[in-house]
Homo-oligomer: A and B are copies of this chain.
Amino acid sequence: MDSRQILEAFDEVAKRRGWSRLHTPKNLSMALSVEVAELMRHLQWRSDEEILQLFASAEGCTAIAELADIQMYLLKLADTLGVDMEQALAEKITENRRRCAAAEDPGEEGPGGPSGRS
């Protein structure tokens, strides 16, 4: 299932339910943020071990569905904004590799750390 098929399925449901006019950039970014928090709600009071157990169990299905929701809203938002995700990803990966190489060259950047990365 590629991005185009996911978007078509998303839009078909939105159209039939009369929700398409609500899918503005601002609203979609809020929905994306809400879906991430719905996932986080399953993780917030659990340790990393308990989280892995949850996702390996039958009760994990609700949390797994949140991951799918995040993916759908992300693709819909990118589409609404006219962003080519393939290209955005390719450029970001190139940029991350460039920064990584620069960090390994002591003349270019300090040792840094994950706190400072974007």
Contacts and interface: CB of A to CB of B under 8 A. Distances in A.
B118 A92 contact: no
Contact of A40 (B30, B48, B112): B30
Nearest to A90: B1
Indicate how many identical chains form the complex. 4
Contacts of A106: none
Interface in A32-52: 32-34, 36-48, 51-52
A82 B25 contact: no
B48 A100 contact: no
A25 B51 CA distance: 7
A52 B27 contact: no
A9 interface: yes
A105 interface: no
Contact of A41 (B34, B48, B81, B88): B34
